[in-house]
Amino acid sequence: MASKERVVIIAEIGVNHNGSLELAKRLVDEAASAGADYAKFQTFQATKLASADAPVADYQRLQFEGSHQVDLLESLELTHPEFAELVAHCKSVGIGFLTTAHDLDSAAFVFDLDSDFVKVPSGDITNFPFLQLVGRQGKNVLLSTGASNEDEVFEAIAVLEGEGLSRQQITVMQCTTEYPAPIHDANLLAMVRMSKKWGVGMGFSDHTEGHVAAVASIALGATVLEKHITLDRSMVGPDHAASLEPTEFALMVSSVRRVSAALGADQKRITRSETRNREIIRKSIVATQHIFSGEPFSADNLGVMRPGTGLSPMRWNDLIGNAARRDYKPGEMVDEP
């Protein structure tokens, strides 16, 4: 999936555009300026996503006076022509475009956009026909896992595999379905376990406040990071409170890039920057007093001092008890055996 040298950062705009194309474009601009790789939205038809009686979630109720999801969702829809404008706008500002389909009709439109990834939202991890359709696209998949257990995640992977995807094409996104999610529910180690157990990519869809969990996920090995962005957390809408404002998002991106660089390789080696200090900090075997030719080396007449340009102290036992081949002055490096 993602390059080991660069974490894929997705600015999740979602529905933070509040149904406004102009606001959506402003958020794309901010995501690009912050250094995100992709700006992502959500594509749906409210009447095909939620039944007439489906209630709003508790976190949605804080921002919406109605009691039915469909009414909230209708206020957050963008049309297909508007999404086409957003695709073009993303291209014009140099950021990738992604959107998540939330119903089968929207999926047909989204798949035709030919984006780099197909996102399976948490609410569809048990949606068998949707998973089948996603698997048939042959594209790299981001599988969000909010409000699911390990067995459900594996069953979803099996459906995608059954339609021809390899596990190398699937990144499992650890996710907590709450907005904002408590930091103690981030459960980042589950992300590590699932990746190692099943051989899938490791990602994190972060709904916690701030960016501590996001940066920690990169330190643990996540190669894809998704985080909500908003112009203002105080705006009315279901996801603004769990989002970062532009300056905060840019700080997160910078922190993620630095942490990713700090991970380095998985082998201990001498780095280029420390090569010039190696001999300065290391030590050599030296004479601590006059040693005359033929005199045995001992702990009484040998010591260890900087720099490390002479015989390594790891050769200590090769010297002890052997006769010196020449005279040594105090402080002189021993150059034998």
Residue 96 structure tokens: 């990738």
Domains in the chain, start-ordered, CATH in brackets?
A: 8-263 (3.20.20.70), 272-319 (no CATH)
What's the Cα-to-Cα distance from 76 to each of 23, 53, 103, 221, 238, rounded to whole Å? 12, 18, 15, 34, 10
pTM of the full predicted structure?
0.88
pLDDT band at residue 53 using 50, 70 and 90 as cut-offs:
confident
Per-residue pLDDT at 221: 96
* 209: CB partners within 8 A, 6+ apart: 180, 183, 242
Mean pLDDT of the chain: 94
The stretch 122-144 carries a mean pLDDT of: 97
CA separation for the pair 265, 83 (Å, rounded): 40
pLDDT at 56 over 90: no
Residue with tokens 């705009």: 13
The predicted-structure confidence for 302-336, as pLDDT tens digits, reads as follows 999 999 999 999 999 999 999 999 999 999 999 98
| Segment holding 218, helix H or strand E | helix 212-219
Per-residue pLDDT at 265: 86
Whether residue 180 is preceded by a cis peptide bond, meaning omega within 30 degrees of 0, is yes
What's the Cα-to-Cα distance from 15 to each of 162, 192, 193, rounded to whole Å? 32, 29, 31
Q: How many C-beta atoms lie closer than 10 Å to residue 210's C-beta?
A: 14
The stretch 257-264 carries a mean pLDDT of: 94
Q: How many C-beta atoms lie closer than 10 Å to residue 211's C-beta?
A: 21
Residue 13 structure tokens: 């705009």
Coil, strand, or helix at residue 13?
strand
The predicted-structure confidence for 208-259, as pLDDT tens digits, reads as follows 999 999 999 999 999 999 999 999 999 998 899 999 999 999 999 999 999 9
* 287: CB partners within 8 A, 6+ apart: 301, 302, 303, 328, 329, 330, 331, 332, 334
CA separation for the pair 25, 254 (Å, rounded): 22
